[in-house]
Chain A
Amino acid sequence: MLIGGIAVITRKNPVHSALALIITLLAQASLYLMLYAPFVAGVQIILYAGGIMVLFLFVIMLVSIDRSIRERQFNSQWIVGIIAATALGGLFIAVYAKGSSIFPQHVLPAVENDNTQKIATMLYGQYMFAFEIASLLLLVAIIGAVVMAKKRI
Chain B
Amino acid sequence: MHEILQYISSYLTSDKTPGVAGNMFWAFVYIMLVFLGLSVAVIAMNWLERKILAHMQVRLGPMRVGPHGLLQPIADAIKLLLKEDIMPAEADGFVFWMAPLIVVLAAFTVFVVVPFGPTHAITDMNIGILFMLGVSSLSVLGIVMAGWASNSHYPLIGALRSSAQMVSYEVAMGLAVVSAILMTSLNSEGTGTLSMIGIVQAQMAQGEWFIFKFFPLGLVAFFIFAVAMVAETNRAPFDLAEAESELTAGFHTEYSGFRWSLFFLAEYSAMIAVSSIAVTLWLGGWLRPFPNWLSGSPSDQIFSFFPGVTFLFFAAICFFNTVRMPKHPLFRIQTIGLAGFGVVLGLIGLVMFYPPVSVRVQDIFWFSAKVAGFMYLYIWYRGTFPRYRFDQLMQMGWKVLLPMGLGVLILTAGVALLQEKIWHL
Whether, in the assembled complex, A71 has its beta carbon less than 8 Å from a beta carbon of chain B, the answer is no
Taking the complex as formed, is A22 at the interface, i.e. its CB lies under 8 A from any CB of chain B?
A: yes
Instruction: List residues of chain B with CB within 8 A of the CB of A16.
Output: 94-95
Residues of B within 8 A of A42 (CB): 127, 130-131, 134
Tell whether, in the assembled complex, residue B144 and residue A58 are in contact, meaning their CB atoms are under 8 Å apart.
yes
Main secondary structure of the interface of B (DSSP, over half): helix
Asked if A45 is at the interface (CB within 8 A of a chain B CB), the reply is yes
Q: B141 within 8 Å of A by Cβ?
A: yes
From known contacts A42-B131, A50-B138, infer whether A15 and B125 are also in contact, taking CB-CB under 8 Å.
no
Check B348 for interface membership: any CB of A closer than 8 A: no
Q: Mark B158-196, 1 if CB is under 8 A from A, else 0.
A: 001001000100100000000000000000000111100
With a CB–CB cut-off of 8 A, which chain B residues contact A41?
127
- 1/0 per position for A35-49, CB-CB distance to B under 8 A? 000110111011001
A134 to B419, CA, bound (A): 30
CB < 8 Å: which of B126, B138, B170 contacts A45? B138
Residues of A within 8 A of B133 (CB): 46
Which residues on the A side are within 8 Å of B163 (C-beta)? 54, 58
Which one of B94, B130, B141, B191 lies within 8 Å of A54 (CB-CB)?
B141
Interface residues of B in 184-233 (CB under 8 A from A): 191-194
What's the nearest-Cβ distance from chain B to residue A114, in Å?
A: 7
Number of interface residues of A (CB under 8 A): 26
Interface residues of A in 40-94 (CB under 8 A from B): 41-43, 45-46, 49-51, 53-54, 57-58, 61
Please judge, given known A-B contacts A19-B98, A49-B141, A57-B141, whether A117 and B191 are in contact too, CB under 8 Å.
Answer: yes
**Residues in chain B near residue A15, CB distance under 8 A:** 92, 95, 145, 148
Taken residue by residue from 93 to 137, chain B's Cβ proximity to chain A (1 for < 8 Å, 0 otherwise) reads as: 011001000000000000000000000000001110011011101
Known: A16-B95, A54-B167. A61 touches B131 (CB 8 A): no
Q: How far is the CA of A113 from the CA of B98 in the complex (A)?
A: 35
Can you offer 17 A-B residue contacts whose CB atoms are under 8 A?
Answer: A38-B125, A38-B126, A39-B127, A42-B130, A45-B135, A49-B134, A49-B138, A50-B137, A53-B141, A54-B141, A54-B144, A57-B148, A113-B126, A114-B126, A115-B126, A116-B126, A117-B191
- Give A residues with C-beta under 8 Å from B: 13, 15-16, 19, 22, 38-39, 41-43, 45-46, 49-51, 53-54, 57-58, 61, 112-117
